[in-house]
Amino acid sequence: MIIWLASYPKSGNTLLRSILSSYFYSKEGEFSFENLNYISQFPLTNQFMSLGINIDNDEEVFKNFINVQKYLNQEKGKVKFYKTHSALCKMHGSNFTDLKNTLGVIYIVRDPRNLVTSLAHHNDLTIDEAASTMIDNSKYLVKSVKNCRVFLGSWSSNYNSWKNLQIKNKYLLIKYEDLINRKKTTLLKIFKFLEKLGMKYQFDIVKLNKAIKSTDFKKVKNLEQKETFYEGVLDVKTGKRKTFFNLGPSNDWRKLLDDKTKIKLEKAFEKEMIELGYL
């Protein structure tokens, strides 16, 4: 069964993956880029190609989301984490997932005023272009060599879509800001949620402390300078891989965002930002 780590892009998904992969898939709780491979992304092109699905046909891809998930869930009783930026929606008459394949979701949300600068850096956009992308409710993530096309939606619709699992008690909301400022408390909340879902594991607080320490932003950023992190995108101008771990906790919209963009985002997402305590 799958536990989704779902989020709008640049919301802290990789940070949570880093901590969970260090805890569950390393011997001592030490972070490495290789450990991230144990928490793969969905949908990847190779997941569909292995079943003979035409990845160049978007409709076929969407219609086979659940079939591929069934394939990934072949090993009965085993829980797997998968990262996704997809909205929880129906496309071409087919759902993104179902309760036969989904054990639960941990949804990571981030203040859109901080997210916008990270999105702009990652995707070679101006701040205004990034803000418009976040507001666009018809937005897809484009297909790449590695990733299939997926429906993203706007920042607010993506966030709201995954709440549907709340009714089934399969939903946990985590704020990026809490993952930075209240890390241990937030992670203990996550582990309690995993236990509630029925995930079997032996909790080790010492190992968790090591996972937290080894995934400190400065340490991971320094590691990226020494080793290649292949999830960092290539700069279209230089051809070099862009820094994935860019500003992190230093990203402060109060210092980086102009009033025009701030007002634009607050107006578009007022309801959700009030709900989340961002306004």
| Residue-range domain boundaries for the chain | 2-276
Distance of CA 226 to the CA centre of its chain: 24
Cα–Cα dist 114/248, whole Å: 10
Cα–Cα dist 171/193, whole Å: 9
Are 244 and 221 in contact by the 8 Å Cβ rule? The answer is no
Output 253-262 pairs: Cβ under 8 A, ≥24 positions apart: 253/111, 253/113, 253/114, 253/116, 253/117, 256/117, 257/113, 257/116, 257/117, 257/127, 258/127, 260/128, 261/113, 261/116, 261/127, 261/128, 261/131, 262/113
CATH code: domain 2-276 is 3.40.50.300
Question: Is-cis flag, bond preceding 9, omega within 30?
Answer: no
Cα–Cα dist 31/221, whole Å: 12
Cα–Cα dist 21/36, whole Å: 6
pLDDT tens track, the chain, 279 positions: 999 999 999 999 988 999 999 999 998 898 888 888 899 999 999 999 999 999 999 999 999 999 999 999 998 778 999 999 999 999 889 999 999 999 999 999 999 999 999 899 878 889 999 999 999 999 998 888 899 999 999 999 999 999 999 888 999 999 999 999 999 999 999 999 999 998 988 889 999 999 998 888 776 766 666 555 545 454 455 555 445 555 556 667 788 889 999 999 999 999 999 999 999
Structure confidence at residue 241 (pLDDT)? 45
Which of 14, 143, 144 is closest to 84 using CA atoms? 14
Structure confidence at residue 234 (pLDDT)? 45
Q: Could you tell me where the DSSP H helices lie in the chain?
A: 13-24, 45-49, 58-63, 65-72, 112-123, 127-135, 155-161, 176-181, 183-197, 205-214, 217-226, 253-256, 259-268, 270-276
Number of residues assigned to the chain: 279
pTM, two decimals, is: 0.89
Cα–Cα dist 230/244, whole Å: 9
